[in-house]
Amino acid sequence: MIRVLVVCLGNICRSPIGEGLLRSQGQNRGLDLFVDSAGTMGWHAGKAPDHRSQGVMRAHGLDISSQQSRPMELEDFQKFDVILCMDQQNLTDVLKMAKGPAHVQLFVAGKDVPDPYYGGDAGFEAVYSMLDSAASNWINNWMTNSNS
């Protein structure tokens, strides 16, 4: 089993979308995968994903309404094999906390996923598209490595 944590700032916009996409694509491909998400800040702890994140996922046939925001914890570095961060600032913040074997990197190789919180619906669709493509790449990579 591959254990993956997806991280953004507040864990209500980007990381819930990433979590949902990885979980769905992993299940569709038969990959033994556990996915969770967290925020580097705990502002929204216990809250559901932003209604716009839920809306863009619903528009693509996925339901993330049961997810709950939570702050990242030191134990996450022991619990997860891979921690995928949405942008360089999240990556920097996570690496400052790093105390364990988890491999930490950007969700989208070489790119920051913009935070759509203060924008409109188009920003959420753009984030969905970026994360959908990157999630597919991750699943393909993990499928290839688990078969070798």
Q: Distances from the Cα of 124 to the Cαs of 13, 15, 54, 101, in angstroms?
A: 8, 12, 10, 32
The C-alpha atoms of residue 36 and residue 15 are separated, in whole angstroms, by 9
Alpha-carbon distance 41 to 77, whole Å?
A: 16
Cα(6)–Cα(107) distance, rounded to whole angstroms?
A: 8
The catalytically annotated residue of 50, 76, 87, 115 is 115
Indicate if 115 belongs to the active site: yes
User: Is position 58 annotated as part of the catalytic site?
Assistant: no
Helix 121-146 to helix 51-59 angle, to the nearest 10 degrees? Answer: 60
Q: What's the CA gap between 80 and 100, in Å, rounded?
A: 9
The one catalytic residue among 14, 23, 50, 85: 14
8 labelled catalytic? yes
Q: Which residues are catalytic?
A: 8, 14, 115
